[in-house]
A and B are shown apart, each in its own frame.
Chain A
C-alpha cells in the first residue's frame, strides 16, 4: 500500500498528501511520442540502468513495471493510488514505471516526457518530497545527459513545463470551505498568483469528497525553492482558513454537525448500495468528525484508504471481475462495511 495511505503526515486534519513531479528528457533524443516501441524500450532500459548503477542498493528497492505487461485493472489501481498518471497508463506500447517498495517514489518513463520523477508523501511535506525527488534527479543525471538549455532550463515536450520542470501539489480536504462557499474566493485568488486547483483525480474530475489538489502553474523564471515555498504558503493559508471555519461551525452548530457526522457514519456502516459520489460525501463527513474529535471509533488513515478502495479499479481487482454498475455499488457498500 502506498505510504500516503498507510500513514498520515503533518497537518493531517486537512492535508492528505504532498507530491512533487519533475519532468526530464534525455538529450539528443526525440520525445516519447515520436519513438517506436523499440526505441521506447531503450529509454526504459537506460533509465533503469542509471538508477541501479548510480546506487547498487536501489536495485532491490525499485521494481520495473511495463505498461504492456499490466492489465487494465492493475493500471487503474496505480492511477487510483496516485502512483501513475492516466496518460502513462494509456501508453501500453512504450510506457513503463519504476516504483520503490515504500511506494513513495515512482519514475514514469515515456509518458509525455522521457522521464517524470514523482515523489508522494503523506501530509504537508513539500520540502521533504522535493528533497527526495531532487536526489533521484541527481542520481540519474550522473549517468544520463538531460535535455537542457541555458536560457530555457530543462526542455520538455510541452512548453508549459519548461524551466524547472517541476509541478508541486498538495491534496487537501476542505469540507467547510466548500460548504460555506468561501472556496470560490480561494479559486479566484489562487488563479491570480499562478496556482491551479483541481479535483481528486486531476483535470476534469469534480471535487469529490471535498478534496482539492492545489499546484503551481508556472515552471520557468522561478527557482525550485520559490515554487515550493509559494505553494506551501498558499497551502498554509488555506489550512488556517479551513481550521477557523471548522472551529466556528463546531461552536455555533455543534448539534447539527454531530447529527450529520453520525448519520453519515451510520450510513457508511450499514448501507447495502453505495455510489462513489455518495460514499465520497459520507467519507468527507466522517473525516471531519474525526478531526473535530467527535468520532473516535475510526482512524483518519482508514478513511483515507477508503478513498481509492471504493474506486472502480480497486473494486474490480478485489472481486476479480469486470463489475456492472449495480454490482459495483453493492460491492462498494460491502467494502466500506468491512473496513468500518
Chain B
C-alpha cells in the first residue's frame, strides 16, 4: 500500500481518525508520518520494540506472574521488565539470569538456540573438546548399531582420552 501523502513510499503507519463519529483512515510512510502535524508518531517501529512484542505474545499467563517478581541481573541491574521494554539485555550475566525466559524468543529469531560457530581461542577452554566428545558419541552409537564393535571400541577410547583431557583442565 502506498503512502497517502507522498504516494511514493510504502505506507507503514496506519491510523484511523474519528471525529464526531466520522471515521477516516490514513496510511502513511515513515517519512510523511514523522513530518505530519500534531507531533507525528514517535513510537515508530524498531527491532528492540518488535522483539519485546514477540516476547509478550510468547509468555504463558501463569508464568507471566512469576516474571513480574522474577528478579533482576546482579551485575548491571537490568530487570526482566526493562528487557521487555528495551528489547536489549544489559550485560553477559543477563543471559544467565534470564536464560529460561528468553530462550523461546531466541528460538523464534534464529530457529535454533545452539551455537556451533567459532569459539574464543584463549578463553574458550574445553568447549571445543566437549563438542568433539559430542560428535564422537554420535559416531559411537552409529558404530554400535552397525555392530562394528572394533570401531566402536576405538571411538570409546578416543572419547575417554578427550574426557580425561577435559577433567585435567
Contacts and interface: CB of A to CB of B under 8 A. Distances in A.
A148 B128 CA distance: 13
Contacts of B51: 158-160
A163 B115 CA distance: 5
B113 A220 contact: yes
A149 B114 contact: no
A6 to B, nearest CB: 31
B120 A148 contact: yes
A151 B127 CA distance: 10
Contacts of A145: 120, 122-123
Nearest to A29: B91
Nearest to B106: A159
Given A141-B121, A148-B123, A33 B116 contact: no
B106 A31 contact: no
A139 to B, nearest CB: 10
Contacts of A30: 75-76, 90-91
Interface string A138-153: 1001100111111111
A223 B116 contact: yes
B118 interface: yes
B48 interface: yes
A30 to B, nearest CB: 4
A164 interface: yes
Contacts of B116: 221-223
A141 B120 contact: yes
B89 A159 contact: yes
B156 interface: no
Nearest to B86: A33
A31 B88 contact: yes
A152 B127 CA distance: 12
Interface string B81-94: 00000011111110
A25 B117 CA distance: 16
Given A34-B76, A142-B122, A148-B119, A218 B92 contact: no
Nearest to A143: B122
B112 A160 contact: no
Contact of A159 (B105, B112, B123, B127): B105
B149 interface: no
Nearest 3 interchain pairs by C-beta: A221-B112, A153-B115, A147-B92
Given A141-B122, A158-B47, 14 more contacts: A25-B92, A30-B91, A31-B90, A134-B118, A145-B123, A147-B92, A151-B115, A155-B89, A157-B88, A159-B89, A218-B109, A218-B112, A219-B110, A220-B106
10 contacts: A30-B76, A150-B127, A150-B130, A159-B106, A160-B109, A164-B115, A218-B111, A220-B110, A220-B114, A223-B117
